[in-house]
Structure 1
Amino acid sequence: MSLARNTLVQSSLTLGSRVLGFARDMALAARFGQGPMMDAFTTALMLPNMFRRLFAEGAFAQAFVPVYGGVRARDGDEAAAVTASEALSFMFAVVAGFTILLQVLMPWIMPWLLSTYRDDPAVLRVAVTATQLAMPYLACMTIASLLSGVLNTAGRFALSAAVPIFLNLCTLAPLLAAYAFPASQATVLLWVTAAVTASGVVQAALLWRGVRRLGVRLNLSWPRLTPSVRRTLALAVPGALAGGAMQINSVVSQVLAGSDEGARSVLYNADRLYQLPLGLIGVAIGLALVPRLTRAFVAGDHDGGRRTLDDGVTLAMVFTLPAAVALFTIPYFLIDATVTRGAFTSADAARTADVLRQFAWGVPAFVLAKVLTPPFFAREDTRRPMIYAVTAVIFTVIVGTALFFWISRSGGDGVLGLAVATSLSAWLNVGLLGGTLVREHVWAPSARFVGRMARVLAATAAMAAVLVAAGVGYDTLSRLLLAKEIAVLVVCGVGAVVYGAALLLFRAVTVTELKAVLRREPGSSVPSALD
C-alpha cells in the first residue's frame, strides 16, 4: 500500500481507540477529579503506559522490523520465525522477571513516586496495590510488540493498530459499572487497574491469532541468549530507547511531579491531549516508513529513500501542525468544554490548559522524532538515535528539575517548567536526528518539499486566526450554541473546514493526491490482518 494509505489505515483505527480513551478519561475525571485517587491512578499507569508506548505504539516494533525482515529476506520464513521465537522467549522472561521484582518492591518504591502522600498511608496503600495489579501489562506488551513487528513486516498494519482499543474498552467498563454497583473511590480504582492487565491479555491473544493466520508459527520456550537474540537485542533495545525518548521524558516529569499534590493528574490530562497527534500521525507514519525505507536502502535506492522521507515529513506536518495550533490557541476551551464535570472543576481545567499550552509547541517535534528515527532503524543504526534520546532525557531532567523548583518557589505552578523542558528536549532530539540525516546525505529536503511546507504553514495560519477568535468568544459561543460541548464541536469543525480549504487554495495538497491516498500502489495486494 502507499505510505499515505498505510498511515490512513493506522490513524483511523488509532482514532477509534483514542476516542474511547478520551471517553474513559472523562469518566476518570468525573469520578476522581484531580485528587489523591487520580494521582494514585496515574502512578499505577505510569510504567505500564511507558512500556505500552515504547512497545505497542511502535518504538520496539520499528527496531525489530529490520532484524526480522532481514532474516526473512536472506534465509526465508522458517528461519525468521525461529529468530522471532527466540527473541520473544528471551524478552518475555526478562520482562516477566522485572515485573515480579517491581511488584515485590513497590511498597518501598511508592513513597518516592508519590512523595507528597508520605504522611497519608491509606493513599499509598491503594497506590501500591493498584500498581501491582497493573504491572503484568508489561509482560503482555512484550508479546504484543514482537507480534506487531511480525505483522508489520508482512504489510499487515490494521490489527496492531486496532488492538489498543481493548485497553480503553476494558478500563472504561468498571468505571461505567460503578454507577450501577456503587463502590468506594479506592475500590473503583482497583477495578480499573486490574482491567489494564486483562486488556493486555486480550491484546496479546488477538495478535497471536493474527500471526498464526498469517502462517507464522511462533513458540514460547526456555529463554536462551542465542546469536540471533543478541543481534535483536543489540538493535531493538537501543531502538526502543531512541524511539521512546518522549515517553521516558514523560515518566521523568511524572516522577518530579510526585512532590506536588494534583500535579501528576494535571500532567496525565495534558498528556492525553498532546499525545493524540503522536498516536494518530507520528506512530502510524513511523511504522509505515520502516519497511519502505528498509527496501529502499537494501536496494541501494537512495533517491527513493529521500523521496519517501520527504513525503513522510510532509504528511506528518499536514496533520500535526493544525493539531498543535489548536492545543496552543484554545487549550482551556478544549478542556473545559469536554472534561469539566463532576469532581473536575473549571479551576482544574484552567491549570491543565496552562500546562497543555507549553506542551503544544513541542507537538511537531514529538511527531517529527517518530518520522526521523526510522531512517536510522532501516539501516540498522540504533546506537546514535539512542545517544540522542539519552541526551534529550538528561536535558529534561536537568532543565525540568531546575524550572520545576524555581517556578514553585516563585509562587507559580512548577508543572509548567516540566512541560517547557519536555518540549525543548523534543526539539533538541529532532535537531540531532535531522542534522545527522542531512549531514550524511540520507535526507536532502527538496525544493518541492520546502515550497509545500511553506504552503502548509500558510494554511495553518489561516486556521489559527479562526481559533483565536473562537477562544476570545468562548463564553458567548457557549451561550449562543446552548452548550459548551456543542460550541467546541462547532469550532473544531469550522477550523478543520477552513484548514482544508486553505490547503487546497494554496495548493499544499491537490485533489489528485487526495484520490491517490485511497489507491493501492501497483502490484500491492496485501490484505488486512483483520480479514
Structure 2
Amino acid sequence: MADKRKPDPASMEPAPPVPSASGTSEPVAPPPASSRKGGGMMRNSAIFSGLTLVSRLAGFARDIVITAALGGSVGPAADAYNTALNFPNLFRRIFAEGAFAAAFVPAYARTLETEGAEVADKVATDALAAVAFATVVLTVVAQLTMPWLMTVINVGFLDDPARFKLAVILTQITMPYLPCMAIAALLSGVLNARGRFIVSGAYPILLNLIMLAAVIPARGDQVGAAYAASWAVLAAGVSQAGLCWWAARKAGANIRLALPTLSPPVKAIIITAIPAAVGNSATQINVFISGNLSSFVAGGRTWLATADRLYQLPLGLVGVAIGIALLPRLSRAVASQDHQQQQASMDEALILSMALTLPAAAALMAMPYFLIDALFTRGAFLAFDAANTADALFQFGWGVPAFVLIRILAPAFFARGDTRTPMKFALVSVAVNAALAIGLFFAGLGIAGIAAAVSGAAWTNVLLLGGALWRRGLYRPSVAALSRLARIAAAAAGLAVIVGVAASLRPMIEAPVADLLAALGTAHGAKEAALLLVTGAGGLVYVALAFATRAVTVAEVRGLIRRGR
C-alpha cells in the first residue's frame, strides 16, 4: 500500500466505500428546462451559487465537527457513518436527482408553457406519486435486506463485527432519506421551472444545520455521535421535503398527494429517463468497486469522504450552477436554431467555469495537506488521517476541471434531446474508472489510487463528450475562447506557485500568526488563520494575473454585473 504513514497496528480496521465523483453527500438541485422569471445565465447562476456557497460553508462546519467527533482510522464510528450517509445517496443520484429529475423537469416546463399550469401540475402530481412509491418500496426492501447488502458492498467489514453491525444499523436509520430527497428534488424542479431558484438552492442548508445541532452535544462519544448524525440525516430529509412542498404550493403549483398511476406523461418521463438511469447506474458501479477496495483500509472511506467535500466545492459552486443556468438558455437557442447564440452560450459557460475552477484545482494540488490539516485535524481526526486524506485530495484535484466540464458539455446534448450519447460515454468512463481503481490500488497507490481513477475517468468522459460535439459540428470553442482559456491557465499556474511555496514554508508563516494570537489572549487558531492568509494572498495573485494577462478585463466584469442585475 502507498499509505506509508501507519498508526498503531492495533487501530487498523477495514473501511467502507467511496463517494461518487459526480455527487455530494448533500442534495444538488436538478437543472431546470426553462425559466419563466429567470434573468439570464449570470443572474440564475449567481442566485444558485450564492446559496450553494452558504450551504457549502455550513457543510464545512458540519464536516469539521463530525470528523473531530468521529475520527478517521481509529474506531468503527467514522467509516460506519460514512457508509450510512453514502448508501441512500447512491440511489438518490440515480432516481431523485439524476435520471428521473432530468426527464421530469423539461416535461413539466414544456407542459407549463404550452398547456398551462393545471395540466402541468397534474403531470407533477402523477410523477411525484410514482417516484415516491418507487423509492419507498426500494427503501423497505433495503431495510429488510441490509445485513446481506452490507456483506456485498463492504467485503472488508466482514473481518470486523463491530464495524459491520454499526454500519448496518446506521444505514437502516438513514435509508428513509431516499424517498424524502426524491420528493424534494422533484419539487425543486417544479420551482426551477417556475423561475424560483431560492428554495431549490437553499434547502440543502437544512441538512447541515440539523446535523450540526445533533452532533455538537454528542462530542466525546464516537459511536453516540455517529448515531446522532444518522438520525439527523433522516430528520433533515423530512424537513427538506416539507420545505420544498411548502415553497411549491406557495409558488402556485397545485400539486397533491395521490396514488401512483402510469399516466401517459409519466410513461413518457420514464422512457426518457431510462438512458440516463443506465448511465447513472453504471456510474455507481464505480462506487461499488471503490467501496470494496477501500473497505480493506481502516479509515479509507472517511479519508475519501473528507477529500470529497473539498473537491466538490468548485463543482457545486461552478459546474452545477452554470449547468442549471446554461441548459434553459441553450435549449431556447437550439429550438430557435440560433447558432450564434448556441456558440456564445457555450463559450461563455466554458470561460466562466474555467476562470473559477482552474485556480481552485491549482490550490487543491499545490497545498492539499495544508488544507486538510488546517480544516480537519482535531479531536479524533489525527495527523495520520490528514496525511492520507491529502494524498486523495491531490489526486482529486487534477480531475476538478473535468468534473466541471462534464456539467458544461453534457447540456449541449440534453438541449437537443440526446440522452443516449452521454449515457454511452458514461459507460466507457465507468470501465476506465473500474480498471484504473483496481490497477492503481493494488499497484501500491492505495486509497489515493482510487481518487486518481475517478479523475482519470472524468477526463475520459470530457474527451468523449468534447470530441463528439466537435465531430458533429455542434460546438467548437472559438479561437478567442481558447486564447482566454490559455491566459486563465497561466494565471492559475501563478497561484499554484505562490500557495505551493507558502505551504512549504508553513512553519515560518504560522509562527508569527501564533504569536499574534497569543498576544490577543488565545492559543488556538494559528493554522486556520495561516490558511486564510495564504489562500487570500493566492486569490489576490490570481486576480492580478488574470487582469494583467487580460484573461479578464474590467469592462467584462462591469458587463457581467449589469447583465446579472
2-structure distance, mates of 1:246, 1:5:
32
Aligned counterparts, 1:166-245, within 5 A: 166-179=206-219, 184-239=221-276, 242=279
Counterpart of 2:490 in structure 1 is 458
1:454: Cα distance to partner?
Answer: 1.4
Q: Aligned match of 2:535 in 477, 489, 492?
A: 492
1:306: Cα distance to partner?
Answer: 1.8
Counterpart of 1:32 in structure 2 is 70
Counterpart of 2:113 in structure 1 is 73
CA contact (8 A) 2:41 2:326 kept: yes
1:362: Cα distance to partner?
Answer: 0.6
1:251: Cα distance to partner?
Answer: 5.3
CA contact (8 A) 1:41 1:127 kept: yes
1-structure distance, mates of 2:342, 2:94:
25
**Residue 3 in structure 1 maps to residue 3 in structure 2:** no
1-structure distance, mates of 2:193, 2:389:
39
Counterpart of 1:468 in structure 2 is 500
1:144-190 deviation digits (Å, cap 9, x = unpaired) = 111121121222222111110011111111111224xx6x4323211
CA contact (8 A) 2:155 2:292 kept: no
Q: Aligned match of 2:192 in 129, 144, 152?
A: 152
1:220: Cα distance to partner?
Answer: 2.7
CA contact (8 A) 1:174 1:192 kept: yes
1:255: Cα distance to partner?
Answer: 3.5
Counterpart of 2:51 in structure 1 is 13
SS of alignment partner, residue 481 of structure 1: helix
Q: Aligned AA for 1:514? A: V
- Aligned CA distance change for structure 1 residues 434 and 318 (closer, same or farther; 3 Å): same
1:484: Cα distance to partner?
Answer: 1.1
Aligned counterparts, 1:225-374, within 5 A: 225-239=262-276, 242=279, 249-250=286-287, 252-374=289-411
**Residue 163 in structure 1 maps to residue 195 in structure 2:** no
CA contact (8 A) 1:59 1:244 kept: no
1:246: Cα distance to partner?
Answer: 6.5
**Residue 513 in structure 1 maps to residue 556 in structure 2:** yes
**Residue 138 in structure 1 maps to residue 178 in structure 2:** yes
2-structure distance, mates of 1:491, 1:245:
40
1:348: Cα distance to partner?
Answer: 1.4
Counterpart of 2:421 in structure 1 is 384
2-structure distance, mates of 1:448, 1:500:
20
Greater Cα shift, 55-64 or 39-48: 55-64
Counterpart of 1:436 in structure 2 is 468
1-structure distance, mates of 2:288, 2:108:
30
1-structure distance, mates of 2:384, 2:545:
36
- Aligned CA distance change for structure 1 residues 55 and 311 (closer, same or farther; 3 Å): farther
2-structure distance, mates of 1:415, 1:263:
6
2-structure distance, mates of 1:379, 1:471:
46
Alignment gaps of 5+ in structure 2: 1-38, 515-525
Counterpart of 2:32 in structure 1 is none
CA contact (8 A) 1:55 1:141 kept: no
CA contact (8 A) 1:32 1:343 kept: yes
Counterpart of 2:130 in structure 1 is 90
- Aligned CA distance change for structure 1 residues 51 and 370 (closer, same or farther; 3 Å): farther
SS of alignment partner, residue 298 of structure 2: coil
1:85: Cα distance to partner?
Answer: 1.6
Counterpart of 1:110 in structure 2 is 150
Q: Aligned AA for 1:502? A: L
Greater Cα shift, 135-144 or 150-159: 150-159
1-structure distance, mates of 2:46, 2:280:
21
Counterpart of 2:82 in structure 1 is 42
1:311: Cα distance to partner?
Answer: 0.8
Q: Aligned match of 2:168 in 128, 132, 139?
A: 128
- Aligned CA distance change for structure 1 residues 448 and 58 (closer, same or farther; 3 Å): farther
CA contact (8 A) 1:245 1:392 kept: no
Greater Cα shift, 269-278 or 214-223: 214-223
Alignment gaps of 5+ in structure 1: 408-412, 523-531
1:181-213 deviation digits (Å, cap 9, x = unpaired) = x6x432321121111011111111111111112
CA contact (8 A) 1:455 1:503 kept: yes
1-structure distance, mates of 2:155, 2:310:
26
- Aligned CA distance change for structure 1 residues 306 and 240 (closer, same or farther; 3 Å): farther
2-structure distance, mates of 1:210, 1:71:
20
Q: Aligned AA for 1:392? A: S
Q: Aligned match of 2:60 in 2, 22, 25?
A: 22
CA contact (8 A) 1:355 1:419 kept: yes
1:50: Cα distance to partner?
Answer: 3.2
2-structure distance, mates of 1:247, 1:171:
25
Would you say how many aligned residue pairs link Structure 1 and Structure 2?
514
1:309: Cα distance to partner?
Answer: 1.0
Q: Aligned AA for 1:501? A: A
1-structure distance, mates of 2:423, 2:335:
22
CA contact (8 A) 1:62 1:290 kept: no
1-structure distance, mates of 2:141, 2:394:
38
- Aligned CA distance change for structure 1 residues 55 and 496 (closer, same or farther; 3 Å): farther
CA contact (8 A) 1:365 1:430 kept: yes
Q: Aligned AA for 2:490? A: A
1:58: Cα distance to partner?
Answer: 6.9
Q: Aligned match of 2:457 in 414, 422, 425?
A: 425
Greater Cα shift, 154-163 or 491-500: 154-163
2-structure distance, mates of 1:74, 1:504:
45
1:385: Cα distance to partner?
Answer: 0.9
1-structure distance, mates of 2:52, 2:281:
18
1:70: Cα distance to partner?
Answer: 2.2
1:369: Cα distance to partner?
Answer: 0.5
1-structure distance, mates of 2:281, 2:362:
24
CA contact (8 A) 1:254 1:267 kept: no
1:317: Cα distance to partner?
Answer: 0.5
- Aligned CA distance change for structure 1 residues 92 and 365 (closer, same or farther; 3 Å): same
1:5: Cα distance to partner?
Answer: 2.3
1:113: Cα distance to partner?
Answer: 2.8
2-structure distance, mates of 1:495, 1:52:
37
2-structure distance, mates of 1:158, 1:290:
18
1-structure distance, mates of 2:351, 2:96:
24
| RMSD over equivalenced CA pairs, Å | 2.0
Q: Aligned AA for 1:102? A: A
2-structure distance, mates of 1:243, 1:160:
22
1:511: Cα distance to partner?
Answer: 2.1
1:54: Cα distance to partner?
Answer: 5.7
